[in-house]
Amino acid sequence: MNKAFVKETGDSDDEEPLPPSLRLPPGSKNYMTPQGYQTLRVELEELLRVERPRIVEIVAWAAGNGDRSENGDYIYGKKRLREIDRRVRFLTGRIDNAEVVDPSVRQKSDRVFFGATVTIHDADDDAAAEQVWQIVGIDEADVPTGKISWVSPLARALLKAREGDVVRFMSPSGIREVEIVAVSYE
């Protein structure tokens, strides 16, 4: 059989399952803030207009050098193209299914909805410091910067609650109760 028709090992184009933190609940929309939507658009444009053409050029050059079986530039380039194409498919799907919600247009409210910035205090520990979290889309979540996904246990507990409410949720360390100190939309 001609080598052109044999699938190389490690060439799987099958989509890898998403980690649980990036999976949308069945039947739900892909809510996103305008900033998160723009970030995905910029990444997609960068991949399509800069990164992919650069790698295609490298692969074409490497293919012209002869034997491809031991050509590192060719092998790495093809692998990188598959990674880029997989990411482009992912980003395109996320952008196509995005429901952009701008928290800054929400009227003054003491209830927690998507996009809210919520200040909480541990109800069981008066000495604990207050924490500030913004509820954002799955693709925007970044715990070190205070952004949590709307499908996270804490965000789910906070949604629709009001300032002054105490909510319970399951954290990695067990069931916790937190009091909502403030709610704002920026």
pLDDT tens-digit series, residues 79-105: 999 999 999 999 999 999 999 999 888
Total Cβ atoms within 10 A of residue 154: 20
Helix axis angle for 72-96 and 34-46, nearest 10°, is: 150
Mean pLDDT of the chain: 87
Residue 116 has pLDDT above 60, yes or no: yes
The region of weakest confidence among 9-13, 136-140, 173-177 is 9-13
CA distance 170 to 154: 8
Query: What residues does CATH 1.10.287.180 cover in the chain?
Result: 28-100
pLDDT at 16: 65
Strand segments (E) across the chain: 30-32, 98-100, 117-122, 131-136, 147-149, 166-171, 174-184
Nearest CA to 163 among 106, 120, 103, 104? 120
pLDDT at 144: 95
**Domain at 103-184, CATH from 2.60.40.420, 3.40.50.300, 2.40.128.50, 3.10.50.30:** 3.10.50.30
- Single pTM value for the model: 0.79
* Structural tokens at position 126: 């008066």
Residue 57 has pLDDT above 60, yes or no: yes
AA letter at 31: Y
pLDDT at 1: 47
Domain 28-100 bears CATH identifier 1.10.287.180: yes
Query: What residues does CATH 3.10.50.30 cover in the chain?
Result: 103-184
Mean pLDDT score, 9-23? 62
Mean pLDDT score, 11-37? 76
pLDDT at 29: 83
Among 8-17, 41-50, 93-102, 104-113, name the most confident range. 41-50
